[in-house]
Amino acid sequence: MSWVIAFELMMLVTSGCALVVSGWLLLQARKRRSLQALAGFGLMMALWCGGHIAIQQGWHDAGVLLILANPLMPTFFLHFALRFVRPERPRVPAWLLWLSRHIVAIYATSVAVILLSWDGPGGTVVALGPFVDFFVFRGLGWFNIAYTVVVGILAHLVLVWGLSVHQGNLRRSIVAMFAAGAWGLLLATSFIFPSLGFDWYPYPMLLLPSYVVLLVYGVVRYQILEANDFAKRTLLWLVLMAVLLVLMALLGVLARHFGLVQLAAVPLWQLWICALLAVAVALLLRGPLTTLSGLLIYPGMRLDEALLERWLSRLKAEDSWQGLQARAAELISAQVRQPVHIQLQHEGTGAPLRCEGELSILCQHQARGWRFRLQGWEDLKPGLRLTGEVFGSLLSTSCGLLERSLQLAEAERRRLASEHLVELGSLSAVMAHELRNPLNVISMATADLPAERRSLIQTQLARADRQISDLLLYSGRLELHRQPVQLQALLDSLAPLFDWQQTRFESEIPPGLMLSADPHRLQQVFTNLIENALSFVRNQPGSLIRVEYDADGGYVRIHNNGPAIDASLHATLFHPFVSRRAGGSGLGLAIVRRIMDTHGGHVALRDDLGWPVTFELAFEPNPIQDLTS
């Protein structure tokens, strides 16, 4: 293939690339207005290359006119640079403001220079080396090229200013534009040499298609993420084409040595064209063949990007474990067209996951995050099994997202509760001081009253003082002083303090059971729970309170056989100022919950253990030791 054909082919490729890129930029310009001017630059580049093609085809007049229109190329680029780097800043250089305000005049000047060059004349066509026809500047054409260089310098000065004031991706884009500009200048320099009298073939111009692509990619790669994915695929195919071209050249050289005379006689450029056509056909058939191979290897699979996005968005929309489990079962069952059981085991749940005899996806929280496994899928088709694997992976991701979301919500709840308690604590301290002063005065004023009336008043004053103390305890700051506490000894010390009134108290705590806790706060927990139970069972036939330890779960439970708690109170039982007994402050159970939370544990009401009322205490993470074992 002659170098003339190579030059004409590269100009055609450059023109085509510039037109495609310009069209894409115009579509993107709806969101980024600066890309309109860059699209104009690409269009002028296409016309400029079209001028060289026209000259090679013998259309000299049209080709000269198109080449002499090149001042519009840097003008469009200057307009783009002004829009791209000019920020909304209070201090912008005067020259930059002048250029921005007079951009229409610069366009008009460029058009005037083009018209003057056309009338000049500004260029002619001569023979050059292998070229029968090649463009060279003459007369006013030199003014045309000088004006083009000046406008290009102005555009790069604008970029220099942008480089000095911007950071981040905008700065990176400007650096990429400078690199692409330097490459373009290197390639375009060879175009000028014949006009200076050098009879040199413009080899660098054969690489001109790369300039357009690199310039546009440098601009948009940090602004439009989709461009990077397209560039990744394009680079892969360009490398593949380059490898094929090398292989075809090597094949042409070696063919004669292996006796392949007919193959050796084929011109190298024809081998290259065949290789490029093979790559193009492979590119066109890649999608359909990938789909076909997937259907053959994984029959029954119906997965695509849209389906995966829909799955993930619907799973992420759930804000509870129950909702996520139900939604996951619904989605995968509809996809495989048979019921699929979903089971999630997050932190705090119990037994190992088992779903024998069912088509199941079991998702479990482990040390390295969420992991899934399929159960009962062994006899299904490979396509359905792959569907289950993909869905299980998405479900694991969604479980992790939900877990973090709930943790953040809980942290925010605790933060707000802490702020509220700080405010309430400050208010309570002031109110306690203001209330206890008049209570003390009332107490002293009862000294001369009859004994019966004085006792009645003192009882009510003591009750008011307890309520004030409870309020201070609930709203104040809790500081723990942990130490080993022998639970049975603590209960033995508390027993004489209660008025049992015919209520039997049983303790089934191992003598060596130790808890890591604040003994004073732990005493408040058991005092409040036992006192709360006594208020309902004392003086009742067969009344019983039992404290026991569940070694399997590590729980301490306080049972009583009093009346069951109404189901309507279960959700708010541990909230402040919720009481089910007359004369109660409504803070006893709320204080218990706050102390347990501060210890890192929790308290829960149970009515499924064979007792009407059971309060279950868990000290986490597992601070209980049985020294007898």
Q: What is the pLDDT of residues 216-234, one digit of tens each?
A: 766 666 555 555 555 566 6
Q: Is the pLDDT of residue 349 over 50?
A: no
Q: Are 550 and 619 contacting, i.e. CB atoms less than 8 angstroms apart?
A: no
Residues 6+ apart with CB under 8 A from 194: 126, 128, 134, 135, 136, 200, 202
What the block records as the tokens of 259 is 């006796």
Buried b (16+ CB within 10 A) or exposed e, 244-273: bbeebeebbeebeeeeeeeeeeeeeeebbe
CA atoms within 13 A on the CB side of 405: 13
pLDDT surpasses 80 at 534:
yes
pLDDT given at position 626:
57
In this model, does residue 1 exceed pLDDT 50? no
pLDDT at 300 over 60: no
pLDDT band, residue 110 (cuts 50/70/90): very high
pLDDT class for 266, splitting at 50, 70, 90?
Answer: confident
Res 351: pLDDT: 43
Instruction: Give the integer Cα–Cα distance in Å for 209 and 187.
Output: 10
Confidence of residue 426 (pLDDT cuts 50, 70, 90): low
Per-residue confidence band for 201, with pLDDT thresholds at 50, 70 and 90: confident
Domain ranges of the chain: 3-224, 241-297, 305-407, 415-475, 483-626
pTM value > 0.85: no
Confidence of residue 613 (pLDDT cuts 50, 70, 90): very high
Please, what sign has the CA dihedral across residues 278, 284, 290, 296? negative
Q: Is 352's pLDDT higher than 50?
A: no
Task: Kindly state the DSSP code that residue 563 receives in the 8-state scheme.
Answer: P
Lowest mean pLDDT of 252-261, 386-395, 465-474, name the range: 465-474
Q: How many Cα atoms within 13 Å fall on the side-chain side of residue 306?
A: 1
Look at residue 129 and tell me whether its pLDDT is greater than 70. yes
Round the average pLDDT of the chain to a whole number and report it.
80
Q: Provide the pLDDT confidence category of residue 505 given band limits of 50, 70 and 90.
A: very high
- Lowest mean pLDDT, pick from 108-117, 341-350, 385-394: 341-350
pLDDT of residue 481: 83
Least confident of 87-101, 179-193, 525-539, 546-560: 87-101
What is the average per-residue pLDDT within 336-364?
A: 72
Class of domain 483-626 (CATH, top level): alpha beta
Alpha helices by DSSP H, 476-538 = 487-494, 519-537
Q: Confidence class of residue 433 from pLDDT cuts 50, 70 and 90?
A: low
What are the backbone dihedrals phi and psi of residue 354, each rounded to the nearest 5 degrees, phi first? -145, 130
Lowest mean pLDDT among 2-16, 245-259, 490-504: 245-259
In this prediction, residue 321 has a pLDDT band, given cuts at 50, 70 and 90, of confident
pLDDT of 36 reads 86
R_g of the chain, CA atoms, integer Å: 42
For 39-61, the pLDDT digits (tens) are 898 899 899 989 999 998 889 98
Q: Which residue has the higher pLDDT, 184 or 279?
A: 184
Question: Which positions ≥6 away from 21 have C-beta within 8 Å?
Answer: 39, 42, 212, 213, 216
Domains 3-224 and 483-626 share a fold: no
Q: What is the mean pLDDT of residues 359-378?
A: 86
Whether residue 7 has pLDDT greater than 80: yes
CATH 1.20.1070.10 assigned to 3-224: yes
Of 147-161, 252-266, 342-356, 363-377, the least confident: 342-356
Higher pLDDT, 335 or 266: 335
SS3 343: strand
Q: Give the range among 69-83, 218-232, 574-588, 613-627 with minimum mean pLDDT.
A: 218-232
Half-sphere exposure of 204 (CA within 13 A, CB side): 14
pLDDT at 526: 92
**Highest mean pLDDT (candidates 299-308, 364-373, 455-464):** 364-373
The arithmetic mean of pLDDT across residues 278-307, rounded, is: 69
Higher pLDDT among residues 37 and 230, named by residue: 37
| pLDDT tier at 150, thresholds 50, 70, 90 | very high
Q: What are the start-end ranges of the H helices in 93-224?
A: 94-101, 103-119, 141-165, 168-192, 208-220
